[in-house]
Structure 1
Amino acid sequence: MKTIIFLSAFVLWASVGQAQEVTKLNEVKVNYSPQITEISQNGSVFTIKIKPRGVNNFVSNPIGFLNDNFDIHKFIDLVSTEEDDPDEEYDSYEVQLRSTKGFMIANYDGEGHLISTRQNFKDIVLPYPLRIQVYNANKGWSMKKNKYTANTKGVILTKAIYNLTLINGKQKRNIKINALDKDYGVVAKN
């Protein structure tokens, strides 16, 4: 019995002693975006498809999503090294982000500076202050669908419009909201 206990303690000590060895690994950099399914290129146009689980992040902040998940400078370098004529450079680049809820097209100059964007989304969650205003102004009505369109110069919004379709039984009401107005001005079209 003492032999079995002694042998067990020895095996445990030997295995623990061997497990304490430290192995140093080299640094590894992995570029992975869990929200992007594919990136394709046609000349100076890049198309990025967004995975369904990344759609909410994309819709809530399209330019932030683009900056977090796409490096235009890496792609400019890639395009310039793959070209048949290395002296030929593009004057501009277009990046299209597409999802099930809509798209954004971002235009860059030849050096990779953001010039403008055009955004178009459908059936998105309205910003909280807008939701409250629409609800208070249209009690008894339900939102059937909505559409959001926006334009920017650089990262500054120059246009932001929500078009809502509300229903109440068989009645239908269309509302256009200019989100750039300080009071989220609501204009109803019947």
Structure 2
Amino acid sequence: MDMIRNREEAAQLLTERLLKYKGESGVVLAIPRGGVPVAAPIAKALGMPLEVTVSKKIGHPLNPEFAIGAVSMDSVIYDHRSDVSEEYIAAEVQRIRESIQQKYNLFMGNRRHIPFKDRIVIIVDDGIATGKTLEATVKLVQKEQPRRVVVAVPVAPPEAAKRFSGLVDEFVCLLTPPFFQAVGQFYEAFSQTSDEEVMQLLQEQDNV
């Protein structure tokens, strides 16, 4: 397989690889926005609750699209670089934290966070590019001492796949193409996921 049709097919194929966790005490943790349409069918099939976490990359001051780190609500990772000051990092962390707290509140509403301690946590996204935001999420999850951390994604560059295989208990990935530029190039359909879609999918999962 060289291409994935859409996020729905990605969810179906990943579910087949994760069925061994059906009936276990666990949580499916989606990275919005694009990870939620992949994670929701997985959570439903495994009989697990669906939750979201919000992380954002720290962009280079001269090229904001180039990720030099990432921030979650409780963890920070970044590359120490001679061309980026600690003051810039500190200011970006504060700015991003305020932004992701607002986004988390929007998505989760009055839902209570499900503790990860002693549970299997399956972190799902629609693909990995640099992996910085996903790594911040993994560190956030690991702080809660889960029984097992699984990362499940449809596509990732080989170097990221190798790195995450060493960071978590299990790394599940459908495609690791050697010539990787962007996640979307390996989907036939890769439309943007809206905030409204995320909230609808979370609401539907609440009603399961």
For normalisation by structure 2, the TM-score amounts to 0.23
- Structure with greater proportional strand content: 1
- Structure with greater proportional helix content: 2
Structure (1 or 2) with the larger CA radius of gyration: 1
Comparing both chains, which one has the higher relative contact order based on Cα–Cα distances under 8 Å and sequence gaps of 6 or more?
2
